[in-house]
Structure 1
Amino acid sequence: MKNFSVVLIIAVLITACNGEISPKPTPYLKLQYPTSSYKKITTNCPYTFEVSKNAKVNFKANCWSTIEYPQLKATIYITYRPVKNNLLEILKEVEKLTFEHTVKADVINAIPFENFDKKVFAKMYNIEGNVATNIQFRATDSVKHVLSGALYFYAKPNYDSIVPAIKYIEKDMMHLVETLEWK
């Protein structure tokens, strides 16, 4: 009886391994973000814009603000600077922050934006790679105002992992720039 059991087990093992073995496909995480809808933000600051209804906006006394995305663990930091015959100095300072990322960035893409009716002249920077901030923008009316923004995640930079979140927030940042109006 023992011999029969051993033969049966060996037979089952031999016949069970006849099929082709193929590797399982790599699973990909399917991230679903809410559809963006926007609300206009109006304050005592010299500008207005629209932000996602999924974000929390906080203003400071100097018209600096934060736009928080708690579900994505990300924040857009907005900086406002009034121009006092120092436009070039302010713009160089903002660009310096962007191009400090060249050490770790794979690519820095600049996307210009102009709205002559609203006097909004902007540039959005998409910075690919494991950098601290993957999206930045600057906007000005070329006379009185400069508004800049930078996206930060509360995690160690791992570009491949956060690309979907970056692309989602990038649309919101572009919408912010497109709806920007100076008072």
Structure 2
Amino acid sequence: MKNVIIIFGLTFMLFLLSCKHHGTPKPRAYYRITFPAHEYQPLNEECPYRFDVPVYANILKDTRSHNAEKYWYNMDYPTLNGTVHISYKTVNNNINELLEDSRKLAYKHSVKADAIGERLFVSEEKRVYGTLYDIKGNAASSVQFYLTDSTQHFVRGSLYFDAIPNKDSLAPVINFVKEDISHLMETFEWKEMPNF
């Protein structure tokens, strides 16, 4: 019996001594996202503008907005759960109002944004002028832009994801879509429409 108590005591002491290592929990991680190669095709819609559309995005008539107008489209990214909303307005001696509305809509996100950068876009030969708003932080929309010829046409776009804004987890996706938006702006041009 004495040997059993000694063996039990030694086993218990070894057990206590072996429990000094405390595991470190793994940090939270985000899903790895595999992006397709950037490939584009021309927009095939009857509207007063054209640009290159990513082959992995769907162009749909805007039916989600209660005030959607003619030539409003959504460029949906089904695998990324995001949408670039594209709206069109005719300029009627109100270019300053349209520009100010676009600026206000971008800076409306400054409450949650860490910073808002502006990149000007000018294509004299195509008569396309605009600004890309790069909104940093946990804002609902991280990229917005407008394009205009300043006399007849005005197009505005904004990127939204169907997810809670998190700058860390969405950063790779935002950068990927931002390249597509930059390509959209570079290939954008006005076209003459019958009965426009």
1:44 paired residue number: 46
Which letter does structure 1 place at the counterpart of 2:76?
E
Identify which of 137, 150, 156 aligns with 2:164: 156
Distance 1:31 1:2 in 2: 58
TM-score, length basis structure 2: 0.82
Q: How does 1:26-175 map to 2 (within 5 A)?
A: 26=27, 28-29=29-30, 30-59=32-61, 62-175=70-183
Contact 1:42 1:49 in 2 (8 A): no
Q: How does 1:5-20 map to 2 (within 5 A)?
A: 5-8=8-11, 10-11=13-14, 14=17, 17=20
Which letter does structure 1 place at the counterpart of 2:10?
V
Aligned residues: 181
Higher mean alpha-carbon deviation, 89-98 vs 4-13, is at 4-13
Superposed displacement of residue 22, structure 1: 7.9
Which ranges in structure 2 are unaligned for 5 or more consecutive residues?
63-68, 192-196
Superposed displacement of residue 13, structure 1: 5.3
Distance 2:129 2:92 in 1: 18
Identity of aligned residues (%): 34
Superposed displacement of residue 132, structure 1: 1.6
Matched, 1:179 2:187: yes
The two structures, once aligned, show a CA RMSD in angstroms of: 2.2
Which ranges in structure 1 are unaligned for 5 or more consecutive residues?
none
Higher mean alpha-carbon deviation, 79-88 vs 2-11, is at 2-11
**For each residue in 1:128-181, what CA deviation from the matched residue of structure 2 results, as whole angstroms up to 9, or x when unmatched?**
122221100001112211111001111222222211111111111111111101
Q: Match of 1:163, SS?
A: helix
TM-score, length basis structure 1: 0.87
